[in-house]
Structure 1
């Protein structure tokens, strides 16, 4: 069995995966599918001196101004930055807790919980 199979069977067994871009592109899309959408994945490009963190989704111009953008991957990207670049584990965990409440329904979001009228938040 290859890494794609193991990623499906036991995704929690992976902390970091290092590979060439072609394979990384395929497996990152697969990882997004495991989460439910590629748009939910935080991402990081970590170098020896500089790093950057960003959501893995695009700019989503089709939903601009509709009040339905999902902040989950941005929150995750910031949490990764706090822990990996600054060593602020508690701050990262606080943001992780917020993201968990978001996806579990304690904070309503239209993608997971049906339409929400942006004017009535």
Structure 2
């Protein structure tokens, strides 16, 4: 389909003589990766009370080991799995899978516990390690 040079092709497509309204231009955004990085948002410690009742998963890791499927299928009661840490070394305390602290295993009322000896990512704005 060809359009006469004097006529707006959008007007022809819509059956009218007036051109269609053009959308407003979007505001210009700064280029990605260019310039100085944006400053990190400051955390207001007074608002942290809103999160005090949120439950988090805490786990303690004694060490790790890699095994083949054949080795895992061969495990039986009494089998020993060697870990990558020597006895007596600190254990990792993970919060929702993120390393937050290290500590030592202790026994409290016939149950295992961890005495925290080091906070790994102490952020003064969050009040960690206090």
TM-score category (smaller protein): under 0.3
Query: Which has the higher Rg, Structure 1 or Structure 2?
Result: 2
With normalisation by structure 1, the TM-score equals: 0.20
With normalisation by structure 2, the TM-score equals: 0.19
Greater helix percent: which structure? 1
Greater strand percent: which structure? 2
